[in-house]
Every structure is written in structure tokens, then in C-alpha cells.
Amino acid sequence: MEDLISVIVPVYGAESYLDKCVRAIMNQTYKNLEIILVDDKSPDNSGKICDELAKEDDRIVVVHREENGGISAARNSGIDIAKGEFIGFSDCDDYMHARNFEILHRLVVDNKVDIAVADYLEIEDDDNDHQDEVIDYDKIQIVERLKGVDCMKHLITALNTKTILPWNKLYRRKVFDTEEHFRFPDGVNGEDDFCIPHLLCAADEVVYTDVSLYYWRKRPTSYSRSFKLSRTSYLYVLEEREEFLADKISDELKHRFLVHYMEILWDFYYLVKINYPEEKERYQSYRKKFKDKYEANKDFLHIPAKKKLKWDVFRNALFISDVWYKIDQVKRKTIRKIKGIDNYYN
């Protein structure tokens, strides 16, 4: 008997994409699946679509949440009832290769690891279908095999996105059932940055492959391009991550995380000041955090002269810093336009 894989799909506002998403899971070559669709009180017909799909396939379990709780709460509802020895995820507007779970399961079992990480493709609404492209398992390369905690080195590199996303992986159930009984945090921005480090560190070993098995749909309405105050909860995520990893990672990695945190404080100070000028106490608190963090770590920090100048100006000469920020934003917008990036955090 094949191992049971529980696939959890949080569902909200995706009536145009949900059928393709779920059918891609239903049509997996790996058949022993429990497909958990969590309707997070979606205002459209998504909940009804879930119920109709469940009539076609007895592997589908539908959970209708009584109130909207967000993607973390929806994922947690699925995890709590999942019966599988393995857990995977999909977002409700994406889809996956027909062999996604077959290949990920083989990678975990054949290599005797706890998590397998695949690559993904970013797709547009009108992209061609990729789910039946031919993939030869024997030609799949393991590009890295790491102890779980060693995956942390990728959190501020080009592999950050691949490492931190939840749905391009297959997990042994045990990484969720540590003493912490870890779950996705409710009500914070950057929930993946909060949760995935815990899950990776709970794994003895992790394998990475460069084969693309998941198709991440980019659509204008799936991610707001405007800055929202709720995004500042990302600071809590970074602070929690720093505390969690304090005794697990090298000083070099701690330094990289610290510099990243300081840059986010700098960004949020200006983003809140510009977009929410009435939140003066909030954005001033970010500058104070920045100054306190700098003072506490000045002997530990080793940064390029230009960055040090920028930070010194921010701490001591705010008017000049304001001009610096405006120039920096013009450069960033130009780079994002060239690269086609519309995500604030890139």
C-alpha cells in the first residue's frame, strides 16, 4: 500500500482557477491522496465548486470555515485533520505537474530524508499548460542534500523564494508534530518566512532538485502592489526568526539576517511615513528600533562603507536620509521594471 499524502488547499476567491487547480491534484499519477479543500468563507462560488468536486472524487474532503481567518488559519485547519504520513500544499489559483507528488515522494523515500524541495515556474494567466510535460525521474538531479538547519543559509540568497515557499515541497508529517506542534501563524504578513524555518529545522535532512513541478500563477489581483500597514507585521516574523535561530546558525548567517532586518526597518519607516503619515508614532518606533539595534550590534556589524554611510545618515541626519530614500526608490523601481517584478519584498 502506498503511503498516504494529504494535500491541503486553502480556498478563497478563486472560482476562475479552482477547478483546474483541484483537477491537477485529482489527476496525479500518485493516487493515494487525501485532498483537503479548506473553504475560508470565500465570498464567491469557490465553496460550491469544492462541494461539486467532492461528489466526483471520494478522496476529497471539504472544510467550510465559519469565518474568514486567512491563509494560515486555512492551512492549519487542513493540517489538524490530515491523516497522511506526508503533507503537501497547493494554492487555489495555481496548478502542478501530473507527477508532482510521485516524484517528490520518491525523492523523500529514495533518499531517506524528511523534506523534498522542487523548483517551480511563474506563469501568466494565458500560459500554455505544463502539467503533462515529460519528466524522466532517472535524469532528475539532486542539486543539494542538506541538514535541515543548513537550509537557513538560503534564506537571504537567490534560493530564498524556493526555500521559503510551502507548496513546492513534500514533508514527512513528523516535522509538523514536534514538541512545538508547529502551525502557520495567524494574522501576520510573511507567514511562510515564520513557519518554513521551523519545519526545515525539524527535518533531519532535506534534498533540493531543480526540476520544476509546480506552476505559480501571477495575476494582477493576487498580490496588491500598494503598501498596506498590515505588511509591517513582517517585522514580527523576522524578530521571531532571529530568536528561534539564535543558537542554531553561524555568526555569519546571524549577521546577514541582522543586516536584512535593519534594511526592512529602514524601508518600513519610509513606507509608513509616506503612505500613512498619521501613523507617526509607529514609523518613529521603527527608527528607534533601528538606532537601538545598531547601537547594540555596532561591534558585530561589518558592512560596506556606502551602507554604513546610509545608516549613519538615517540615525543622525534625517533630512538628508529622506532625500537618499527618494533616490533609492527611483533606482529600485527601475530595476523592478526591468526585471518585471511587482512584489514589494523583491
Give the pLDDT confidence of 149-186 residue by residue, as tens digits: 999 999 877 788 899 999 999 999 999 988 666 788 88
CATH 3.90.550.10 occupies which residues in the chain?
A: 5-217
Give the pLDDT confidence of 296-319 residue by residue, as tens digits: 999 999 999 999 999 999 999 999
Comparing 280 with 131, the larger pLDDT belongs to: 280
Give the pLDDT confidence of 210-251 residue by residue, as tens digits: 999 999 987 654 433 468 898 999 999 999 999 999 999 999
Cβ atoms of residues 308 and 262 within 8 Å: no
Give the pLDDT confidence of 193-214 residue by residue, as tens digits: 889 999 999 999 999 999 999 9
pLDDT band at 327 (very low <50, low <70, confident <90, very high): confident
pLDDT band at 342 (very low <50, low <70, confident <90, very high): low
pLDDT band at 128 (very low <50, low <70, confident <90, very high): low
Closest C-alpha to 149, from 168, 130, 163? 163
Task: Classify domain 5-217 at the CATH superfamily level.
Answer: Spore Coat Polysaccharide Biosynthesis Protein SpsA; Chain A (3.90.550.10)
Instruction: Tell me which residue has cell 488559519.
Output: 73
DSSP-derived pairing of the beta strands 115-123 and 169-172 = antiparallel
Q: What is the pLDDT of residue 226?
A: 64
For residue 140, pLDDT over 90 is answered with: no
Cell matching residue 253? 548567517
Quick check: helix, strand or coil at residue 40? coil
Cell matching residue 111? 533518499
State whether the Cα torsion 19-20-23-24 is positive or negative: negative
Residue 140 phi, psi (nearest 5): -70, 130
Question: Lowest-confidence range among 18-27, 69-78, 109-118, 225-234?
Answer: 225-234
Give the pLDDT confidence of 254-297 residue by residue, as tens digits: 999 999 999 999 999 999 999 999 999 999 999 999 999 999 99
DSSP-derived pairing of the beta strands 5-11 and 86-89 = parallel
Closest C-alpha to 108, from 117, 99, 120? 117
Q: What is the pLDDT of residue 141?
A: 87
Residue 30: count of CB within 10 angstroms of its CB: 22
Residue 97: count of CB within 10 angstroms of its CB: 24
Cβ atoms of residues 131 and 215 within 8 Å: yes
Percent of the residues in the chain that have a pLDDT greater than 70, as a whole number: 92
Q: What is the pLDDT of residue 222?
A: 44
Distances (CA, A) of 191 to 89, 188, 346: 14, 6, 16
Q: What is the pLDDT of residue 345?
A: 41
Q: What is the pLDDT of residue 223?
A: 36
Quick check: helix, strand or coil at residue 345? coil
Q: Taking each helix axis from N to C terminus, what angle separates 71-81 and 191-202, rounded to the nearest 10 degrees?
A: 30
DSSP assignment of 249-288: S-HHHHHHHHHHHHHHHHHHHHHHHHH-TT-HHHHHHHHH
Q: What whole-number distance in Å separates Cα of residue 290 and Cα of residue 269?
A: 9
CA dihedral defined by 94, 4, 77, 154, rounded to 10 degrees? -60
Closest C-alpha to 144, from 208, 204, 206, 201? 208
State whether the Cα torsion 43-47-49-52 is positive or negative: negative
For residue 138, pLDDT over 90 is answered with: no
Closest C-alpha to 149, from 205, 195, 87, 209? 205
